[in-house]
A = this chain, B = another copy of it.
Amino acid sequence: MNTIKIRHGDNISFAEAEDGISLLEAVSRVKDLHIDASCGGKGTCGMCKVKILKGELPEPSPADTKFLGRKEIDANYRLACMIPVNENFDIMVNGINEGFKILTSHSGFTGKLNSIVKKKYIILPAPSLEDQRSDLSRLLDSLTVSSIHVALPLRQSLPSILRYAEYSVTAVFSEDTLIAVEPGNTEDLNYGVAIDIGTTTIAAYLLNMETGEILDTLSDLNSQKVFGADVISRIEFSMQGQNKLSTLQEKIISQVGELSVSLSEKNGICTENIYSVVIAGNTTMIHLFFGVDPSGIAVAPFIPGFLGEISIYSGELKDFPLNCTVYSLPSISGYVGADIVSGILATKMDEREELSLLIDIGTNGEIVFGNKEKLYCCSTAAGPAFEGAHISCGLGGINGAVDSALIEDDQLIYTTIGGKKAVGICGSGIIDLVSVFLKEGLLDFTGRILDEEEVRDQFSTKFLNNLRIDNNGPAFLVVKASESGNGRDVVFTQQDIREVQLAKAAISAGILTVLNKAGRSLNEIDHVFIAGGFGSYISKKSAANIGLIPAELLDKTESVGNTAGLGALSCALSQENLNVAKKIAEITEYVELSSDSFFNMKYMEEMVFPEY
């Protein structure tokens, strides 16, 4: 075992690392220390830069040369993913994410309470020579249930519980399973956790299952992030060798466990009284949570291992810290997961007469369209750009990320998350920037940044200081190095614009395709729900300006918050909702875009921006 000493900010952490793993993987083991490594350790994103203070300094790899300047290499900077650990290291890490903005808000649970975990206090008749029923029969007879599953650990302890409690006990059920038997009357202590596992972020909700109250919320970055920014990188990591899938699974299980324990501790609740954890997430995240091989999802024809709901005893998940039922909601396809099923449930699209559209732009972009008669859905590889990935100065929603922009008195004005000095641009900032440059005419509808001459021609000296042209071609200069938080220019390049064009084309072509499948047109849509963090933080107007949302639907568009989380908690609190979720997963028709010629045609057409 090697020890890695890691300096980050004013803190020092230590990680244990066995021979041969990468420095990046070692660093990823430090709790609460997040490194953005969107490529998952393949040396293709250049984001896991560290400074080697002690330990063998390897020759710069091609990836180092590509992403780090001569200066940085001479100053002992290297990409952590390229360094195999074979000895102790002392390193310094920059760019630890702090203050990440994660959406946990939603419209709240409004259904009829009928939670999936029920408690019942009963006084059993004491045994006698005339009544020699077994402990288990005595209990089940009193519960007047005929067929119920009783897990082995409960069978093992039941005799001593009954004797200790002198036959006055509270039975705890979830569906057809007896989860626990507790001494005395504990009917009012019934808690649950609902979790939305996003590729980037995780949101956890603590629920009072007796009252339906949402007691508290916690969120965190998905700790698997270091193994890739998007689902494809995660899947590729899981395929890199033995135990990689387990590594991903252990990461997420322990994180979900920690969030649940933190929620209970913060609220003075015994973890013993948390009986269920209900999980929503995209199909890949759910595969990884259960340790199911997700490799089929990554390549055509995109086949998941399973799609249905899973309900298991937490003991089957190695090192999960709670004894409870773990329930995951069903998915629709490899790229339309339980998070979208939750979204449909939360927005009640499946109950409405009117036609509505649900757009969830997270790391992927999923689209659902329809009404109670019929629902269609699809998924587009749209998300990463809007989460800051594949964008030269792109960032997630962390402190110092430019999150909004406008032009006032010919000046580009921006805000940053946390009001910190700018270090990059997050999704809502990206949309605003494209919108303002487009509206001002600095960007033409084909997505081309005007060159210096054109700007001079049209705007005289105005905006000249917003342009930067170097070897990499033209770019918008958003924040000068002298004003930024990291001493470097915050720019938005021509290549970044292309990424945005690809992403927005995918979304709008996806919308048009499901409409076409349903034989409907844009003007028939009654309501547009924008789900997810991105949907809540962006300017809807800017999104319409760049053509991400059809302009004619702007007035009908509503941000609905974290519908994945809301759907999950609604299912925890209502068995009826759980059944609806299963129904939704069964009946929603998945439209595969990769082989759809209509989509491909529209994708090309939608690449251009609206003309102003």
Chain B residue nearest in CB terms to A294: B159
Choose one: B159, B294, B306; the contact of A305 (CB below 8 Å).
B159
Question: By the criterion CB–CB under 8 Å, are A306 and B136 in contact?
Answer: yes
Cα distance A592–B157 in the bound complex, in angstroms: 26
Q: Using A136-B307, A306-B135, A308-B136 as known contacts, say yes or no to A155 and B290 having CB atoms under 8 A apart.
A: yes
Cα distance A306–B304 in the bound complex, in angstroms: 40
- Taking CB atoms and an 8 Å cut-off, the chain A residues in 124-140 that contact chain B are 127-129, 131-138
- Nearest CB of chain B from residue A291's CB, rounded to whole Å: 5
Choose one: B129, B296, B594; the contact of A163 (CB below 8 Å).
B296
Question: By the criterion CB–CB under 8 Å, are B155 and A306 in contact?
Answer: yes
Cα distance A199–B138 in the bound complex, in angstroms: 27
- Nearest CB of chain B from residue A129's CB, rounded to whole Å: 4
Cα distance A294–B136 in the bound complex, in angstroms: 12
> Which residues of chain B come closer than 8 Å to A291, judged between CB atoms?
152, 156
- Any B CB within 8 A of the CB of A460: no
Chain B residue nearest in CB terms to A296: B159
- Any B CB within 8 A of the CB of A69: no
A contacts with B, residue count (CB < 8 A): 44
Choose one: B152, B292, B592; the contact of A155 (CB below 8 Å).
B292
Question: By the criterion CB–CB under 8 Å, are A137 and B592 in contact?
Answer: no
Question: By the criterion CB–CB under 8 Å, are A293 and B132 in contact?
Answer: no
- Taking CB atoms and an 8 Å cut-off, the chain A residues in 264-284 that contact chain B are none
Cα distance A592–B292 in the bound complex, in angstroms: 51
- Taking CB atoms and an 8 Å cut-off, the chain A residues in 505-521 that contact chain B are none
> Which residues of chain B come closer than 8 Å to A308, judged between CB atoms?
134, 136-137
Question: By the criterion CB–CB under 8 Å, are A290 and B127 in contact?
Answer: no
Question: By the criterion CB–CB under 8 Å, are A127 and B301 in contact?
Answer: yes
Per-position 1/0 for A485-513, Cβ under 8 A of B: 00000000000000000000000000000
Cα distance A131–B301 in the bound complex, in angstroms: 8
Cα distance A137–B296 in the bound complex, in angstroms: 14
Highest count of chain B CB atoms <10 Å: which of A131, A132, A290: A132
Cα distance A78–B156 in the bound complex, in angstroms: 36
- Any B CB within 8 A of the CB of A145: no
Cα distance A307–B155 in the bound complex, in angstroms: 11
> Which residues of chain B come closer than 8 Å to A156, judged between CB atoms?
290-293, 305
Cα distance A368–B134 in the bound complex, in angstroms: 20
Cα distance A138–B306 in the bound complex, in angstroms: 9
Chain B residue nearest in CB terms to A163: B296
> Which residues of chain B come closer than 8 Å to A305, judged between CB atoms?
134-136, 155-156, 158-159
> Which residues of chain B come closer than 8 Å to A590, judged between CB atoms?
132
Question: By the criterion CB–CB under 8 Å, are B316 and A152 in contact?
Answer: yes
Cα distance A33–B152 in the bound complex, in angstroms: 31
- Nearest CB of chain B from residue A198's CB, rounded to whole Å: 21
- Any B CB within 8 A of the CB of A334: yes
Question: By the criterion CB–CB under 8 Å, are B306 and A134 in contact?
Answer: yes
- Any B CB within 8 A of the CB of A302: yes
> Which residues of chain B come closer than 8 Å to A135, judged between CB atoms?
296, 303-306
Chain B residue nearest in CB terms to A306: B136
Choose one: B132, B163, B302; the contact of A592 (CB below 8 Å).
B132
Choose one: B132, B138, B157, B163; the contact of A302 (CB below 8 Å).
B132
Per-position 1/0 for A304-315, Cβ under 8 A of B: 111110101000
> Which residues of chain B come closer than 8 Å to A290, judged between CB atoms?
152, 155-156
> Which residues of chain B come closer than 8 Å to A588, judged between CB atoms?
none
> Which residues of chain B come closer than 8 Å to A128, judged between CB atoms?
301
- Any B CB within 8 A of the CB of A471: no
- Any B CB within 8 A of the CB of A160: yes
- Any B CB within 8 A of the CB of A472: no
- Any B CB within 8 A of the CB of A333: yes
> Which residues of chain B come closer than 8 Å to A316, judged between CB atoms?
152
- Nearest CB of chain B from residue A229's CB, rounded to whole Å: 23
- Any B CB within 8 A of the CB of A295: yes
Question: By the criterion CB–CB under 8 Å, are A293 and B159 in contact?
Answer: yes
- Taking CB atoms and an 8 Å cut-off, the chain A residues in 449-466 that contact chain B are none
Q: Which 4 A-B pairs have the closest CB atoms?
A: A136-B306, A159-B293, A159-B305, A134-B307
In addition to A155-B290, A163-B296, 10 A-B residue pairs with Cβ atoms within 8 Å of each other are A127-B301, A128-B301, A132-B302, A132-B590, A132-B592, A134-B304, A135-B303, A136-B305, A152-B316, A159-B293
20 contacts between A and B (CB under 8 A): A127-B296, A127-B301, A129-B592, A132-B301, A132-B302, A134-B304, A135-B306, A136-B307, A136-B308, A137-B306, A152-B290, A155-B305, A155-B310, A156-B290, A156-B305, A158-B292, A158-B305, A159-B292, A159-B303, A160-B295
